[in-house]
Structures are given as structure tokens and as C-alpha cells.
Amino acid sequence: MTTVFIAGSISINRLNAMVQERICNIVSSNFSVVVGDADGADSAIQACLRDYQAGNVTVYCTGDAPRNNIGDWPARHVYSKAKVGSRAYFTAKDLEMARCSDYGLMIWDCKSTGTLSNIIELLRRRKKSVVFIDKDQVFVTVSDISRLEHLLTLMSPKARAKAEAKIGLTSQIAGIANEELSLDFFEASEPAARADEQTKIESFHENAAQTESMKL
């Protein structure tokens, strides 16, 4: 089953109708949803999911109980070694949601480093995010480093500086760029080897089938 990680900025308390429509489509498609337990967008997302009577929802939290679980859905408790209440403490659940999901739907105020970190983490795992830019009321798809860099142009200099200080934005972008470059090089050098390996596999299956037919 396809799993969608839905999250957003804590400053956003109400969801735009366009976001609500996307969430309705996700629920109608019977996709599984993972969502956090914070105030702000997380709570608004939960309320929207409840209104659409979503059943395939898991609320992720760090600690003994979710801070918010509006639909009384199953909760996933993520253990963190970080200091209770710290940024790293709450980030643990976000990393786990990025790991277990297939796509992201993010609602962003162009300032929140938490939501931006989720987008970056999904991209690092080569997973696509659809990002709703709340102030412009448009969707932006982030599927590679160039689209991430475009997304960052929507930040103010002050917000960009804050992200640099809090999450080391430049080094994170460089890390993803290097990973993409390495993967592109690997994939360019592999086609012939993969084709040869596929021929060997097909030959093995043909021989195995002949062997099995001889036993009858």
C-alpha cells in the first residue's frame, strides 16, 4: 500500500481548500497516511483526515503519548536518545515517517526548518514531495536537487540564514548533490553489466525449467 507522509509548518493552523482537496484524494485512493502529533499544521491535517473519515492513518510521536490524536488512530511511538523536548528529540519521529513513506505532501510557510528538513530527508531517500506554498497558494514538486534549489529561492534572506544556522542548509544540499552525482555515474556505468546479468538470470531460469521438465 502506498504511504504518504503529510506534514507542515507549525505556524499554519488552517488548511487551504486546495490542500484539503489533495488530502481528500489521498483518502479516496485508500492510501496509508503517516502524520505527526504537533500543534499547527499537524493538528489541522489530523482534523481534515478525521472529517474525511480516513481510516488508514498512523500518528507518530516521540514519547509516551501523542500530543494530538484527533481521530484516535493507532499511534507509533518513536524512541529518541536526544534530550527530551529538544529539536533532535522531536525530529526522530519525522525521520521515521520519511523512512516508511513513499511520498510527501508538505504544507510550508517558506520559513519552517522542520518542514524543510522533511522535504530534504525525503529527497535524500529519493522520494518525491509535493509542497504547498501557503503564501502563494501553489504546489511545487520536489523530486531532485534542482527543484529543491528552486524551492529555496522562495525563502527570504532572513529565513534562509535561520535555516543555515539551525540545520546546516548548505552542507545538506551539497550532500544530496554529491549523492545524486555519484548515483548518476553509477547508473551510467551499469547498463551493460545489468544486461549481462539479466541474460545470465534468464539462462538460469530456462535451464532450471528444462531440468524440472526432465524430472516429470
> Does some domain include residue 54?
yes
Q: Is the pLDDT of residue 187 over 90?
A: no
Which three cell numbers mark 37?
A: 502529533
Tens-place pLDDT, residues 133-174: 999 999 999 999 999 999 999 999 999 999 999 999 999 999
Whether the per-residue pLDDT at 66 is higher than 50: the answer is: yes
Domain contains 12: yes
pTM of the model: 0.83
H helix intervals, the chain? 17-28, 41-51, 87-100, 113-124, 145-152, 157-167, 169-189, 191-215
Of 155, 189, 206, the position where a domain reaches its end is: 155
Same domain, 101 and 124: yes
For residue 163, being part of any structural domain is answered with no
Same-domain check for residues 149 and 180: no
**Is residue 160 a part of any domain in this protein?**
no
Task: For residue 75, give its domain range.
Answer: 3-155
